[in-house]
Amino acid sequence: MAEVKLHGFWSSPFSCRVIWALKLKGVEYEYIEEDLHNKSELLLKYNPIYKKIPVLVHDGKPIAESLVILEYIEETWPENPLLPRDPYDRAMARFWIQYGAIKCAEAIGALYVASEEEKEKAAKEIVEVLKILEDQALGDKKFFGGDNINLVDISYGPCAYWLPAMEEAAGVKVLEPSSLPKLHAWAKNFIEVPVINENIPDHDKMLAYMRVAREKLGKN
């Protein structure tokens, strides 16, 4: 069996995405924790363009960028499929994954770096972006994949654990049952999936890390 290794960082939502997919596929792998302030020679060798985690190394060949890695995992280990079989449904799943990569990432990134004066506006913009996702992609389904999680759920998974920590660190509310009831329920259901629950960072540790990060940015 070809060797699988994952270079990641404990708090990275992008690393978690890859871990969840590997676990759901039943793929055995070696996890290598990186020091982002002192990146390993291997990481720089495997991802010389962006020099970032996560990097999946399969049989000595590196793949970078979490969404690219998720597609690679799906194609390499087709058992327990994480994308719909119907071509149209598969295309729609990829559309919403890209929506998150562009629209949601921009909005959440703005909150991460927002000052005290900017944070309420940033939180409101996240709600607006997520409301479109809730209405047009999730609807009344338990998961984006229906009864089971798929790559869309995995791509938005950080919203279920990382975003709440970010909200607390910034002192704002975003994923609330009053404003986003269906996404709020989805987040609760997602976290309760055993494979997910067993592979997310400790909330208090994550919160402390985010508070320190925001202090370094001078946002608190």
- The pLDDT value recorded for residue 206 is 94
pLDDT at 219 over 70: no
Instruction: Compute the mean pLDDT over every residue in the chain, rounded to the nearest whole number.
Output: 95
* Structure confidence by residue, pLDDT tens digits, 74-105: 999 999 999 999 999 999 999 999 999 999 99
Alpha-carbon gap, residue 88 to 53, rounded angstroms: 31
Domain of residue 63 covers: 4-76
Alpha-carbon gap, residue 14 to 16, rounded angstroms: 5
* Structure confidence by residue, pLDDT tens digits, 22-57: 999 999 999 999 999 999 999 999 999 999 999 999
For 49, counting Cβ atoms within 10 Å of its Cβ (0-12 exposed, 13-18 middle, 19+ buried), the class is exposed
91/185 same-domain check: yes
Half-sphere exposure (CA, 13 Å, Cβ side) for 191?
A: 16
At 218, is the pLDDT very low, low, confident or very high (cuts 50, 70, 90)? low
72/153 same-domain check: no
- The pLDDT value recorded for residue 213 is 84
Backbone angles phi, psi at 32, to 5 degrees: -120, 110
Number of CB atoms found within 10 A of residue 26's CB: 10
Residue 160, in any domain of the structure: yes
- The pLDDT value recorded for residue 215 is 80
* Structure confidence by residue, pLDDT tens digits, 179-210: 999 999 999 999 999 999 999 999 999 999 99
Residue 82, in any domain of the structure: no
- The pLDDT value recorded for residue 63 is 98
- The pLDDT value recorded for residue 220 is 53
At 214, is the pLDDT very low, low, confident or very high (cuts 50, 70, 90)? confident
Residue 111, in any domain of the structure: yes
CA 158 to chain centre: 4
112/198 same-domain check: yes
- The pLDDT value recorded for residue 57 is 98
62/143 same-domain check: no
Q: Looking at residue 154, which CATH number applies to its domain? A: 1.20.1050.10
In percent, the amount of the chain with pLDDT more than 90 equals 89
62/137 same-domain check: no
* Structure confidence by residue, pLDDT tens digits, 106-161: 998 898 888 888 999 999 999 999 999 999 999 999 999 999 999 999 999 999 99
Backbone angles phi, psi at 169, to 5 degrees: -65, -35
Number of CB atoms found within 10 A of residue 108's CB: 23
- The pLDDT value recorded for residue 114 is 85
Indicate the number of domains in the chain.
2
Q: Looking at residue 12, which CATH number applies to its domain? A: 3.40.30.10
pTM attached to this predicted model: 0.95
17/100 same-domain check: no
Q: Of 76, 103, 137, which closes a domain?
A: 76
